[in-house]
Chain A
Amino acid sequence: MSTLLDVDDLRVTFPTRTGRIEAVRGVSFSLGRERLGIVGESGSGKSQTGRAIMGLTPPQAEVTARKLAFDGIDLLTASPRDRRALRGKRIAMILQDPKYSLDPVMSIGRQIVETLRTHEKVGKAEARDRALAMLEAVQIRDPARVFDLHPHEVSGGMGQRAMIAMMLIAGPEMMIADEPTSALDVTVQLDVLGILDRLVSERGMGLIFISHDLRLVSSFCDRVIVMYAGKVVEQLPASELGRAQHPYTRGLLNCMPKIGADRHPLPVLDRKPEWAA
């Protein structure tokens, strides 16, 4: 399996008035053309890891790594211009809530066409045709109608599909999905995941799926990385989640209520300081 992304000892540090805060503290992993899940609770650094790869870390923060390479390109020394060319074209990102990640004053179709024409030389008519085809690929029933709608006129599930269409139109090789379904209803969630799954496997993309939901990630991904306090505490194949070793992973799995399990009170997570060490 060819390696698409190589991350070695990634650190993201934020300077604050009370000292330096290390949000990500030495994360290492590599990604091939597979589905990798990054799981953790709020503040574990999972989103900052995704953003650092994408190059979306706020300017005041400091990103260091022994190696951060995408397909042989060193992302740390790449010029802003080169990174801009990568972003959207070869690496795409889906964010949590389509309400905030889509431009509210631009029709959905125009946003998709804008992405395409930024990265490829195509005529207006062809761009429109490709955008419509992409909307169809994310199972939007009436693409021509949705093309002209503004984001506030569509539902959350539809908005997220449009977002996926926009991210996939330039044919990226790697996609980072940061909580792509957390803002959606459970039933819609599965539709969106199904679309994402099909497109990723058909196109042979690498996917980084960032989520707080351990169970969802394990049912969707091939491999899971569990993060706690900016570090990777465990890395394992999703199918072996039941055999997780680290007490944090096990505690996280254990503390969720399950249908059919009558446990009162629920086991709670007993955080040990040495996990963060």
Chain B
Amino acid sequence: MTSALSVDRLEVVFDRFRALKGVSLEVQSGESFGLVGESGSGKSTLLRAIAGLAPIASGSITVNGKKLGARRDKAFYREVQMVFQDPYGSLHPRQTVDRLLQEPLAIHGFADGQKRIQRALDEVGLGTGFRFRYSHQLSGGQRQRVAIARALILEPSILLLDEPTSALDASVQAEVLNLLEEIRRRRKLTFLVVSHDLAIITHMCERLMVMQNGEAVEHLTADDLVERHVSKDYTRNLLRASDGFVRTA
């Protein structure tokens, strides 16, 4: 197995606030890796830093054996794509689905756009009937499918997922999670998933990292979490919280 993504002592600083304090991780090719923690723990910042959306103060990121420089080339954005949390905010309100999907193709100079758009829509289970609709004509689950189609249309090898289902209803969440798993299996993709929900992470990922205050608390496998073989109190607290409310007499 080769490493698809490796992050070494990454630091992200906003003004004087250190959002990431030297975080390292290694994701194998074809693996699904989870990031969990409370809000403010730096899990989303780590994802955004990898995508090039957060200022990197020091440390390095290596994608498919290639170390990223200060400026990222187009090839990087073909390899790495991101799906955001809020499907209501991540789609352009005045562009049709067709126009939305054309954008990445135009940037990367693909010629067979029509075919790719059709294939991408089919793949996320929307069909061509949705092609000329605007995002306000779609439900939350359908919008998230469009966002996934937009990420997939460039045929990336790594998908960064930032809370991909937290804005969706439980029944729609199940559909989107199934879709993501199926796509990963079919295309042999590498996933990096951020979620505050431990159940989603154990469902989707083989390994995970628990974060707190911009630092890695511990690395676990999903089986460790299921069997509650955790060493840190912070992780234990998260696990207890995910069990639901317990009345103390």
Taking Cβ atoms with an 8 Å cutoff, the residues of A that contact B are 41-42, 156, 185-190, 193-194, 197, 212-216, 218-220, 251-252, 255-260, 263-269, 271
Contacts and interface: CB of A to CB of B under 8 A. Distances in A.
Given A186-B196, A216-B245, A220-B245, A255 B202 contact: no
B178 A268 contact: yes
Nearest to A257: B203
B249 to A, nearest CB: 11
Given A42-B169, A187-B237, A259-B226, A265 B181 contact: yes
Contacts of B244: 215-216, 218-220
Given A260-B202, A260-B226, A268-B175, A212 B170 contact: yes
B169 A257 contact: no
Given A41-B170, A220-B245, A257-B174, 8 more contacts: A185-B196, A186-B197, A187-B238, A187-B241, A251-B171, A259-B202, A265-B181, A269-B171
A215 to B, nearest CB: 5
Contacts of B177: 257, 265-266
Interface string B179-202: 001100000000000001111101
A41 B238 contact: no
A265 B178 contact: yes
Contacts of A263: 203
A218 to B, nearest CB: 8
A99 to B, nearest CB: 13
Given A41-B171, A251-B171, A259-B199, A185 B247 contact: no
16 contacts: A41-B170, A41-B171, A186-B241, A197-B245, A197-B247, A212-B170, A219-B245, A257-B199, A257-B203, A259-B202, A259-B225, A266-B174, A266-B203, A267-B174, A268-B174, A268-B175
Contact of B242 (A156, A259, A267): A259
Contacts of A190: 240-241, 245
A214 to B, nearest CB: 7
B161 to A, nearest CB: 14
A208 to B, nearest CB: 16
Contacts of B170: 41, 212-214, 252, 255-256
A264 B247 CA distance: 32
B128 interface: no
Contacts of A219: 244-246
B178 to A, nearest CB: 4
B39 A185 contact: yes
B79 interface: no
Nearest to A41: B169
Nearest to B165: A257
Interface string B226-249: 100000000001111110111110
A259 B244 CA distance: 12
Interface string B17-43: 000000000000000000000110000
B64 interface: no
A243 to B, nearest CB: 18
Closest 8 CB pairs of A and B: A219-B244, A257-B203, A269-B171, A255-B174, A265-B178, A186-B241, A41-B169, A266-B174
Contacts of B197: 186, 257
A258 B222 CA distance: 12
Contacts of A216: 244-245
Given A251-B171, A255-B170, A259-B225, A189 B241 contact: yes
A264 B182 CA distance: 10
A186 B196 CA distance: 8
A255 B171 contact: yes
B60 interface: no
Contacts of A271: 171
B248 to A, nearest CB: 7
Contacts of B38: 185-188
